Amino acid sequence: MTNKEKYQRAFSVLHASDDCVKEINDMKKTKRVYIPKLAAVCAIVVLVLGLASITYAADIGGIQRNIQIWFRGDQTDAVLEVQDGSYTLTYEDEDGNIREQSGGGVAYDMFGRERALTEEEIIEHLDSPEVEFREDGSVWVYYHSQTLEITDQFDEDGVCYVQLKDGDEVLYMTVTEDSYSMSSHGYLAP
Amino acid sequence: MRLSAEEAFRLYGDRLFAIAFSVCRNRADADDVVQDTFLKYHTQNRDFESPEHIKAWLIRVAVNRAKDLTTSFWRKNKVTWEEYMGEAVFEDPADSRIFEAVMNLPKKYRIVIHLYYYEEYSVREIAHILRCRDGTVKSQLSRGRVLLKNMLREEWNDDE
């Protein structure tokens, strides 16, 4: 007997329960909206939150601060250094490795003049949702303590719309199969 | 093309239960996965190219749903797979040892092992369903086989 034959015979004991049959039959009679347990509605995923965002732990002097950030669903301590609109963030990941993340940017005032991002704007950026495209093909959204897999929530055009609710604030994310964008005013076109 | 949910369940219900059980390792979650998968199939009303396309789509949805359940914070007390084994009637004692060995594999290996040996998908087809690279499937399959061989010894052939 080949391994496949042995395996198939061993697993032939598995059968869906009679309740499944009843549930399938009931589908024909009633109109239902599919709402799986992780709060997704069709191709729009809604994530409701209620926790605080980044908190300052201590000002350790100079241009550095101790802050707490959310990293992939876990809160962790980090040191933030900001200078001229650029930042360096040092923290420990889930495996205990020290990691460093850098970035920065500019903003434009009402006259079109460029200026460096402020510390508050940088922190707001660090506090924003993150989308991870994993090597195994799964796609995950992280926002504060919440983790949500959206791998199978993409519509036929390869777009998933995610609505993040945190108290009265709502963020609208548009996620394609390799990028994402967000706005507090509505879904951006992919 | 499109099958009714009832027809799709008749054709693929037990298969989905088997893959869901191999991920969740308990009957209640596996049943939930099957119900959720067919509810989604019923409500999405999309078109498919062929029955094989339907089956592959159902399996992908079921695998992802099963993974969600195993990582969710909310879990009830459920009948474990060991208890399920106690109730199941295996055709041969060796079958129960194979079942037990597979249930003891790490989840990521169980999924590819099941899709390869039970559904007889190729590496490429498995990679397409799971949305990962061929190389990832190959290495997971290889490691899963080594672990099975270590557990089952002569009861697991060296053939592919």
Q: How far is CA A37 from CA B77, B141, B144, in A?
A: 17, 31, 31
DSSP state of B106: -
A65 and A157 within one domain: no
| Cβ neighbours for A91, distance < 8 A, ≥ 6 positions apart | A69, A71, A76, A77, A78, A79, A98, A99, A101
**Structure-token pair, residue A152:** 């199978």
Asked whether residue A11 is assigned to any structural domain, the reply reads: no
- Per-residue pLDDT for chain A (190 aa), expressed as one digit of tens each? 899 999 999 999 998 887 776 776 666 555 444 433 333 333 445 555 443 344 444 444 446 778 877 777 777 788 888 877 778 888 877 667 777 777 766 666 666 666 777 777 777 777 778 888 877 778 888 887 778 888 888 876 778 888 887 777 788 888 887 778 888 777 877 7
* Cβ neighbours of B131 in A, within 8 Å: 136-138, 151
Which CATH architecture group holds B90-160? Orthogonal Bundle (1.10)
For testing the chain A interface, which of B33, B72, B99, B115 should be mutated: the one with the most A CBs within 10 Å?
B99
Count how many Cα atoms sit within 13 Å of the Cα of residue B49 in the half-sphere of its side chain: 4
For testing the chain A interface, which of B22, B34, B69 should be mutated: the one with the most A CBs within 10 Å?
B34
**A19, A34, A38 ranked by CB distance to B31: nearest:** A19
A140 and A157 within one domain: yes
The answer to whether B47 and B1 are in contact (CB under 8 A) is yes
Containing A86, the helix (H) or strand (E) segment is strand A86-92
Which regions of chain B carry the CATH code 1.10.1740.10? Answer: 1-88
Is a pLDDT exceeding 80 seen at residue B89?
Answer: yes
ipTM: 0.87
Count how many Cα atoms sit within 13 Å of the Cα of residue A132 in the half-sphere of its side chain: 14
Query: What pLDDT does A51 receive?
Result: 39
Smallest Cα distance from B109 to chain A, Å: 13
Identity at A125, one-letter amino acid code = H
DSSP state of B153: G
DSSP state of B154: G
Q: Which residues of A8-24 are buried (b: 16+ CB within 10 A; e: fewer)?
A: bbbbebbebbeebeebb
B17: contact with A, CB 8 A cutoff: yes
For testing the chain B interface, which of A5, A7, A72, A154 should be mutated: the one with the most B CBs within 10 Å?
A7
CB spacing of A10 vs B98 below 8 angstroms: yes
CATH number of B1-88: 1.10.1740.10
**What distance in Å separates the CA atoms of residue B78 and residue A107, rounded to the nearest whole number?**
54
* Cβ neighbours of B95 in A, within 8 Å: 6, 9-10, 13
